[in-house]
Structure formats: structure tokens, C-alpha cells
Amino acid sequence: MKVLVDTSIWSIAFRRPAGNMLKEEENHLSNLKTLIEELRVVLIGPIKQEILSGISDEKQFSQLRDKLKAFDDLPIISQDYELAAEFYNTCRNKGIQGSHIDFLICAVAHRNKFLIFTTDQDFAQYSKHIDIKLYSPQRVT
């Protein structure tokens, strides 16, 4: 099954120095590497935008942008935006707030039957009220 990898996981991979990671972060990185090797990783434009935003060093920005080109952008269709709004409304009616990009991630994952790989605990809250599935990282020893 394909896995839509959220910004929080990419940030561990690209923004944290290898020797400066917590054990859990190392585990997430190991899982990401496995998913990449298995060709199961999916990326969408809004996540790419989030990853690249805030990088002020032009050389670092270009290098990261070039690395991300290895992953095709999954097209987002009109129905994804409509479903994202529906998911937003459903969660908001249950007292759960979230970003528009979070709900777009949920909608794209739902439509394509992808798992979502994230460290953002908001997605666990969303999953109680909308039909999304989260990727459970394997423990690496």
C-alpha cells in the first residue's frame, strides 16, 4: 500500500542532523528509507511547498528541491478540495480544528486509499471522525 508522507516526517529526514536525532526520530527515518526503497512513498505539491518554505539559503533550497524531484507529485483533483472541506466541517463540528492542508492531505489519502505517515498527532484526532488510515511505523532495532 502507498503511503502519503507528511511534512513532519520529511523534516526529520532533511532538517535534522543525523547525530542529533531522538531514538523515535531515527526510527521514523528508518521507516521512511524502507518506504522509499519499496517505492511506496507519495508526495503532493502542498507538502513539497511546506518542506521548502522557510529555507532562506538559496543553495540549500535548490539542493532540497532537487532531492524532492525524485518523487512525482500526485495530482490533486477538484473532488479532493471538496472532500477536504467536508472533512474540515465534520471535524470542526466535533470541536477539532485543523489546517486546510491537513484536510487536503486527508482527502487525497482517502481517495487513493493511501496511509498517512506523520508525527502530527492532529491526524489521530481526525481519524476518529473521518475515514483516513495512518501508517504505523515499524520498530527498528
pLDDT score, position 48 = 96
pLDDT score, position 16 = 67
**Rounded alpha-carbon distances, angstroms, from residue 72 to 40, 43, 54, 124, 128:** 12, 7, 22, 26, 30
Work out the percent of the chain whose per-residue pLDDT is above 90. Answer: 84
Which CATH topology does 3-134 take?
A: Rossmann fold (3.40.50)
For the chain, the average pLDDT equals 94
Give the DSSP H or E segment for 5.
strand 3-5
Question: Which of 65, 24, 28 has its CA nearest to residue 43?
Answer: 65
Residue 141, amino acid:
T
Interval 62-119: pLDDT, tens = 999 999 999 989 999 999 999 999 999 999 999 999 999 999 999 999 999 999 999 9
